[in-house]
Amino acid sequence: MRGELDIAAVFQVVESIMKDVRERGDAALIEYTERFDGVSLSKNEIEVGDEEIKAAESDIDDALKDSILLAADAISAFHTRQKSKSWFEDFSFAGSPGGSTGNIILGDVFVPLERVGVYVPASYFSTALMCVIPAKVAGVPHVIMCTPPRRGGNIDSATLFAAHIAGASRIFRVGGAQAIAALAFGTETIPKVQKIVGPGNIYVTAAKILLRKLTRTEIDFPAGPSEVMIIADDSAPPDLVAADMMAQAEHGKHSKALLLTDSNYLASAVEREIMTAIEREIMNNCEEQFWILTGSMDECVEFANEYAPEHLEIVVRSPFDVLKKVRNAGSVFIGVFSPVAAGDYATGANHVLPTAGYASVLSGLDVFHFMRRMTVQIISREGLRMLKDAIVRMARAEGMPLHAHSVEARFTRSE
């Protein structure tokens, strides 16, 4: 019922590619780009130049340009709202171990990563927006983007325009596992990064997983086939439910679209819509991509929480009664006018989301993927005095006498 990729089957070839890139750098990138993309590059053509980026803006029509700018503004606004500010607070108060005010100050300081890598599949300019903008909102100074070249060696103009307005520092025409390796290890041309985000094909996903074995580079999460689950009752329009399911299947043959409903009428009507579309060859997808399950509304929610879908639509009379029971989903879309496609492009919420059940333990891409949180502790002499006895007892109980001494010494030394 879930689309699965046999990632293990490509680990060996991907690991070989990654080790080759680590050893030979740009020479390996040039070789793999010619082999896999059919593009012959020189060393100085790996990076996209300023002139090509400027030319991209004039190459796309104004209507699309305005749409990309609208989406960029929405993504920036949403992720700016997510961002947490550093804070400090007085944790010493009457009756507390710290005693009077000002003796124990604690806080969190949020620090952006210095350099991150973004992988953008060919011609998916919306993904450039979704990955680069949150990194810049988080304060990352260096955002390095890789995307595969087209047959002529150029990058899709909309992708270059989107990456530029989003704030990408440098853009490289390299794709696949070799791009992930270049970002992780660094080459003569591509700088090494601390973390890599962005979706990709099975080879990109395998490379990101292997990073844990070969490097200390972090990733966002493994990306599997895309999926949508729709919880709906008989108030939902069958044609629109079917349209959203078919839209999700457009991502590829491994993508899945599931309808969970307590209405036999809706189940039958949606099935007819999908089968008619398949018979008329409106889409090239196969019916195995679609699943329709019926049961009580509580059973639908229970199944959704177990499945942990990437996208969850709720199209029922009382959607917030359902929402409060939902625990596991990458992103939730409520109501008949909240299709997944809106979030894919223009609402401002991120479309890079956990799949394959990872939504039960991971969140979608956000500003926190590009930041670290450090705790800060400021203790006065009086504050430490109030805590001293407890610290010393616990340190000695754990067999750490030097920990105890480090506290006691502050009160036995001469000033």
Domain count, the chain: 3
Q: Taking a C-beta distance cutoff of 8 angstroms, is the pair 381, 388 a contact?
A: no
Return the DSSP state at 183. H
Residue 96 located in a structural domain: no
Q: Taking a C-beta distance cutoff of 8 angstroms, is the pair 251, 200 a contact?
A: no
Same domain flag for 55 and 166: yes
- Per-block average pLDDT, block size 10, for the chain (415 residues)? 78 97 99 98 98 96 98 99 94 63 93 99 98 99 98 96 99 99 99 98 96 93 93 98 94 93 98 89 72 96 98 98 98 99 98 96 98 97 93 99 98 79
Same domain flag for 150 and 246: no
Residue 92 located in a structural domain: no
Which of 45, 227, 273, 310 is catalytic? The answer is: 310
pLDDT value of residue 370:
99
Which of 79, 164, 251, 311 is catalytic? The answer is: 311
CATH of the domain at 19: 3.40.50.1980
pLDDT value of residue 8:
87
pLDDT value of residue 122:
96
Q: What is the DSSP string of 281-323?
A: TSS---GGGEEEEE--HHHHHHHHHHH--SEEEEESSSHHHHH
Closest CA to 359 of 370, 367, 350, 372: 350
Q: What is the DSSP string of 343-406?
A: HHHTSSS------TTGGGT-PPS-GGGGEEEEEEEEE-HHHHHHHHHHHHHHHHHTT-HHHHHH
Same domain flag for 250 and 297: yes
Q: In the block, which residue shows the tokens 């400090």?
A: 88
Residue 1 located in a structural domain: no
Residue 329 located in a structural domain: yes
Domain end, chosen from 219, 242, 270, is at 219
Same domain flag for 299 and 169: no
- Length, in residues, of the chain: 415
Closest CA to 331 of 340, 318, 321: 340
Domain housing 207: 7-83+111-219
pLDDT value of residue 98:
52
Same domain flag for 349 and 385: no
Q: Provide the β-strand partners of residue 258.
A: 229, 291
Same domain flag for 73 and 31: yes
pLDDT value of residue 279:
81
pLDDT value of residue 154:
96
310 carries an active-site annotation = yes
Same domain flag for 22 and 56: yes
79 carries an active-site annotation = no
Q: What is the DSSP string of 320-341?
A: HHHHTT----SEEEESTT--HH
Same domain flag for 206 and 60: yes
